[in-house]
């Protein structure tokens, strides 16, 4: 990739309707948007009652601007703020649990923030220059194996979107169960929460973090021996990288969500397996609380990944359904 490469604005070929972009800082939002959208922000009018709780939470009851230039995207609503005082993933879950719930297709992007976290509440440093995305889907229908379906959807979407970036083709892989690595360096991670009523999934909330331009300072562990940022894994000095990664990610999330609703989880699981970096490798699985002292649950070569994301190890009859993984 050449010096000073500029990524073009990425527009999906197929959309389902106009997308509204809201922000409390149009100048900050321009880093993620096309010039046409960025130039068209106007003060938002009366807030849609269905969106008002999340708009108030994201923008802390401050002034809100909306783009009057709508683009056909597979998502209806994108909220962009420079800073969030707490995890947007957490407050989307809280609002989804509320009596009125939330609409389908809300995407909240924070430039940086506090109290962000990964799996099992582990600290996630939310630095400027990276993507911190929380997503709310409201399928309102039965989703097969929904307990793992949205984890598959989120991890697969991040891996496949990164693999569309020039210079990263086929380099992003999934480390069981929800980490995204490029050449053994962790560049992202995902979370998924679902709730249902009867057989219908009423809400699914995804938390997605991708290190795009800044590498967090993380003490190496056997579980995360190295971290990285997308920019550092590319040659040259690419311009517009956050914009390119965001719009590839939004496009891929929309496509994988459509596949999940129309075809079920199995096509996404096949793609998840194709992007797995653990198949065929020797691994050690430790307990979730092994930060201080490693307690081994199982070890061996990975022969397969089951339909509920359980690990199948050679010579072991019982699948591994949880734990922290160390690559050997």
* pLDDT tens digits for range 137-146: 999 999 999 9
How does DSSP assign 132-167, residue by residue? EEEEEE---B--TTHHHHHHHHHHHHHHHHHTTSTT
Residue where a domain stops, chosen among 235, 251, 274: 274
Report the alpha-carbon distance of residue 302 to residue 281 in Å, rounded: 6
Condensed to tens digits (0 to 9), the pLDDT of residues 251-288 reads 999 999 999 999 999 999 999 999 999 999 999 999 98
CATH number, position 103? 3.30.930.10
* Residue at 39 is within a domain: yes
Nearest to 309 by CA among 148, 104, 144: 148
Q: Are 152 and 54 found together in one domain?
A: yes
pLDDT mean over 63-89: 83
pLDDT mean over 147-165: 97
Q: Are 151 and 236 found together in one domain?
A: yes
* Residue at 65 is within a domain: yes
Q: What is the span of the domain harbouring residue 264?
A: 18-274
Q: What is the model's pLDDT at position 238?
A: 78
Strands 200-210 and 311-313: unpaired
Tell me, letter by letter, the H, E, C secondary structure of 13-26. CCCCCEEEEEECCH
* Residue at 164 is within a domain: yes
Q: Are 168 and 310 found together in one domain?
A: no
* Residue at 8 is within a domain: no
* Residue at 4 is within a domain: no
Q: What is the model's pLDDT at position 71?
A: 58
Rg over alpha carbons for the chain, rounded to the nearest Å, is 19
Report the alpha-carbon distance of residue 245 to residue 158 in Å, rounded: 9
Q: Are 321 and 213 found together in one domain?
A: no
Q: Are 246 and 211 found together in one domain?
A: yes
Q: Are 269 and 310 found together in one domain?
A: no
Condensed to tens digits (0 to 9), the pLDDT of residues 206-228 reads 999 999 999 999 899 999 999 99
* Residue at 149 is within a domain: yes
Torsion angles phi and psi, residue 125, rounded to 5: -80, 115
Q: Are 57 and 163 found together in one domain?
A: yes
Q: Are 115 and 256 found together in one domain?
A: yes
Q: Are 251 and 301 found together in one domain?
A: no
Query: How many domains does the structure of the chain reveal?
Result: 2
Q: Are 25 and 55 found together in one domain?
A: yes
Q: What is the model's pLDDT at position 119?
A: 77
Q: Are 196 and 305 found together in one domain?
A: no
Q: Are 242 and 100 found together in one domain?
A: yes
Q: What is the model's pLDDT at position 4?
A: 38
* Percent residues over pLDDT 70 in the chain: 91
Prediction pTM value: 0.91
* Residue at 1 is within a domain: no
Condensed to tens digits (0 to 9), the pLDDT of residues 294-316 reads 899 999 999 999 999 999 999 99
Q: What is the model's pLDDT at position 73?
A: 56
**CB contact at 8 A, 272 and 148:** no
Report the alpha-carbon distance of residue 310 to residue 285 in Å, rounded: 12
* Residue at 47 is within a domain: yes
């Amino acid at each position: 990739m050449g010096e000073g490469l500029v990524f073009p604005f990425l527009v999906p070929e197929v959309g389902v309707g106009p997308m509204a972009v809201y922000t409390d800082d149009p100048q900050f939002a321009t880093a993620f948007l096309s010039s046409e959208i960025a130039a068209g922000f106007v003060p938002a009018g009366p807030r849609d009652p269905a969106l008002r709780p999340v708009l108030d939470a994201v923008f802390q009851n401050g002034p809100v601007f909306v783009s009057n230039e709508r683009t056909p995207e597979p998502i209806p609503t994108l909220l962009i703020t420079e800073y969030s005082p707490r995890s947007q993933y957490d407050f989307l879950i809280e609002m989804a649990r509320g009596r009125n719930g939330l609409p389908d297709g809300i995407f909240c992007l924070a430039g940086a923030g506090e109290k962000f976290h990964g799996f099992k509440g582990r600290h996630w440093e939310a630095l400027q220059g990276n993507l911190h995305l929380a997503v709310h889907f409201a399928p309102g229908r039965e989703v097969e194996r929904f307990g793992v379906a949205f984890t598959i959807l989120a991890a697969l979407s991040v891996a496949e979107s990164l693999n569309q970036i020039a210079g990263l083709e086929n380099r992003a892989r999934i480390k069981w169960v929800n980490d995204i690595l490029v050449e053994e360096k962790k560049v992202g991670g995902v979370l998924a929460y679902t709730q249902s009523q009867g057989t219908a999934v009423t809400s699914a909330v995804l938390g997605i973090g991708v290190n795009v331009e800044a590498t967090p300072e993380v003490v190496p562990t056997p579980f995360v021996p190295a971290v990285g940022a997308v920019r550092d894994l590319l040659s040259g000095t690419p311009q517009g990288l956050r914009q390119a990664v965001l719009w590839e990610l939004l496009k891929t999330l929309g496509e994988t969500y459509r596949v999940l609703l129309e075809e079920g989880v199995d096509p996404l699981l096949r793609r998840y397996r194709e992007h797995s970096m653990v198949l065929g490798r020797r691994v050690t699985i430790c307990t979730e609380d092994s930060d201080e002292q490693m307690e081994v649950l199982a070890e061996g070569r990975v022969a397969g990944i089951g339909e509920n994301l359980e690990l199948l190890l050679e010579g072991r009859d019982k699948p591994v359904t949880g734990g922290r993984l160390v690559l050997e």
